[in-house]
Amino acid sequence: MLIGGVDEAGRGSIIGPMIVAGVSIDESKIPKLKEIGVRDSKQLTSQAREKLYDEIVRIVDYYHIHTVKPTEIDSHVLQKGLNRLEARVMAQIISKMMVDEVYVDCCDTNPERYKEHIIAHLKSTSHNLKIHSMHHADSINVVVSAASILAKIRRDLEIQKIKKRYHDIGSGYPSDERTMIFIRNWVQMKKTPPAFARRSWKPLRIILENMEQKMLL
């Protein structure tokens, strides 16, 4: 039996893409993931994640990583549809994995509703698939943990690309003052946010609104 796990990284970031990753693995090989130390990516150092990435890719039967760009995120946030966007991307990944059973990390307050959103985007050939929509699945289910590590590593690589060109952008999250200083300085100089920032996020909307008000004075 093939078991799948799907998770994301970077959902709450104000800079860079959201990464959604899925892995599928034969049920008999799941203990191998535990043996190499796979667990929720947030509980691991960056060095540990990097080491586990290659081992996970070697052990699993299939993996797929999808990048959701800031512009796509913005278009869905404006329609209050970020959860639906994430469900659609997860469904696309699940369709590729051809699993018998899959566990997904649920971003919705209602796991059953999120499961239905995923099912709505799945092909009819997946009607026998068993889906488990769970809060904190990345810390409960080791297959989802493996997916979380792949997503986090890819997300970190995307941030490193931006840092290489623009230097000190912080972590990319709105709670990071270095990140917000970088964005405020960018908007002040260029009168527009960077293309890799999510302008639908409230902190950036406020910065843009303040800039527009000053220009009207």
Angle at 168 between CA 50 and CA 76, to 5 degrees: 75
* Residues in Cβ contact with 84 at an 8 Å cutoff, skipping those fewer than 6 apart: 76, 117
Stretch 109-123: mean pLDDT:
94
Nearest to 44 by CA among 158, 162, 151, 163: 151
**Per-residue pLDDT at 56:** 98
**Per-residue pLDDT at 126:** 58
The pTM (predicted TM-score) of the whole model is 0.93
Percentage of the chain modeled with pLDDT above 70? 98
The answer to whether 6 and 149 are in contact (CB under 8 A) is: no
Q: How confident is the model at residue 97 (pLDDT cuts 50, 70, 90)?
A: very high
Q: What domains appear along the chain, each with residue ranges and CATH number? A: 2-162 (3.30.420.10), 165-210 (1.10.10.460)
Q: How confident is the model at residue 128 (pLDDT cuts 50, 70, 90)?
A: confident
- Whether residue 25 has pLDDT greater than 60: yes
**Per-residue pLDDT at 217:** 60
- Whether residue 118 has pLDDT greater than 90: yes
- The CA distances from residue 88 to 69, 91, 93, 112, in Å, are 14, 5, 9, 15
**Burial class of residue 32, CB neighbours in 10 A (0-12, 13-18, 19+):** middle
- Whether residue 125 has pLDDT greater than 60: no
The answer to whether 105 and 8 are in contact (CB under 8 A) is: yes
- The CA distances from residue 98 to 41, 137, 150, in Å, are 24, 20, 19
**Per-residue pLDDT at 127:** 61
Stretch 161-185: mean pLDDT:
95
